[in-house]
Structure 1
Amino acid sequence: MQTQNTPPKLLDQVRERIRVKHYSIRTEKQYVQWIKRFILFHGKRHPQEMGVSEVEAFLTHLAVEGKVSASTQNQALSSLLFLYKEVLLIDLPWLNNVVRAKQPQRLPNVLTRTEVRAVLVRMSGIHGLMANLLYGTGMRLIECVRLRVKDVDFERGEILIRDGKGAKDRVTVLPDSLLDAMHAQLALHRQWYEQDLALGKINVWLPDALAVKYPNASREWGWQYVFAAKIYSVDPRGKTEHRHHVEEKQVQRYVKKAALATNIAKSISPHTLRHSFATHMLQAGYDIRMVQELLGHSDVATTMIYTHVLNKGGKDVISPLDQF
């Protein structure tokens, strides 16, 4: 039992520092998990007793023995750098000797318009609406599930995406064909909202320190999630029970089920719909800078990958076999 004079445990210190920095709950879980694995890898030694060589050994093990992806290894590295710099206040020198997992150079998996239609027609309800939004707006899945009521502008035909990747806001299009479905979804959620308000379970999660700055905002209609979950859940931080947003895994599962029903041989996920949106926008003749803004890419070079998809084989190339 921890007394008033007992210093908090290391992982509790990590969680506290992450919350001070206003990192997301997902980042908190991932960082804590990697720090645990690091400690267990070195026989439960305290990180205070370890340094660069132990960090390098762990990351090299992940790359060589664990064969993890480059992004996974970088996530582990970020977790350990956060531990030493932000919690233990030890500034490690640049880890030049770490064996880094090779970053694969792959083209995004893209569906044709016919294939997209085949997937979407096999989906219905809230998950079908979300899948249509992913393709119709180019949103990431996490941006879709976190969409707030106040950020849907029916009059302007726009969706304001708050705190996207890189903590950036951007605007994307609200498809005309989804207006009725979006109105119906908000009408249903409004009924839930009134019920939750009566039960005192309307305290929706707010980002950063907004809950402190605007104490009543969490109960306002505009801050509610567009795609709210049917059942209540307990906030792992505040321990309060309220209605959170639909889980990403649910959407992934329904998209996968619909994709299997089409018998399309390609690997299909919710993110495939975002890739398809970008490619089809470029095919339709839209400027790449506009597509870059809609997708929220910091560098146009990231958006350029879709031009490679357009130029890869297909109708623009005649095989020598067909030239006899």
Structure 2
Amino acid sequence: MSASVKVFAPATVANVVCGFDVLGFAINAPGDEVIMRRTSSPGIRITKITGDEGKLPLDPKKNTVSSSVQHYLNHIGQPELGLEIELHKKMPIGSGLGSSSASTVAGLFAINTLMDGLLSNHDLIPFAMKGEELACGYGHADNVAPALLGGFVLIRSYEPLDILRLPFPEALYAAVVYPEVDVPTKDARAMIRSKVLLKDAVTQMGNVAGLVAGLFMKDYDLIGRSMQDVLIEPIRSILIPDFYVMRDLAMANGAISFGISGSGPSVFALCKSQETAAQVTALLQTRLKTSGIKSLAFVSQVNSEGPKVIS
């Protein structure tokens, strides 16, 4: 059994436009890092958090990393195991890129590595969902599942939990832009209607089915025309500056689709090449700058690996 480990876990794009709470994919950058050490003293301690501007709690009962690790330890019958945790945030908090998910997944992968891979990554998903419940009040899996499994993931059912990893075109790139404005996940979720029109539900079901089929068939055109959201995007887009202007820019410059990442404010475009993705991010950042909004940009292939041990 190892005494210490350092782990990276990737950011994720949840919902993927039409798949609210049921679709997500991982990207190579950004992500979070966790260093975990075994100690002789019982209990979990968070010794350091960097990159969070003091926003995250050191209290192990209130931090998503330590809380989910404690659920894991309870499950394996070692609730008093002594651990020290360092969390290094390498991505913005509240960005819509699965910030809490990346931290939680890094912690769970770290403890599972220290325990010699006692559980599979798939088996870690329910513990990661506990972290999401602590972070935003609802234990959704569309960030933590792709962060743990890599690639595109479909949550077919929550009760019982039924999660599938989907194939996808290997050349697919994500152009991600994070406008530095505040859109808290809880607030964005509170805006969503609890009831929808039947015709809108039918449209959305067709789009989700089309997107999944497009991923299987590696059909870019089908992927693109299926990524339409008539339920969530019209409401959440209100919170994102220049959303429709950015969408028009992306689509006019080679993107096959455009939408909100998670609850926002980050937006993403799927592209057929790295060059197109880089061009799209540059155009979107320029547009935001003209509106006086700072932004960060990331260009990444879909991450097929999930979390990993780093030196």
TM-score by length of 1: 0.27
The structure showing larger relative contact order (alpha-carbon pairs under 8 Å, at least 6 residues apart) is: 2
Normalized per residue, the structure richer in strand is: 2
Structure with higher Rg: it is 1
TM-score by length of 2: 0.28
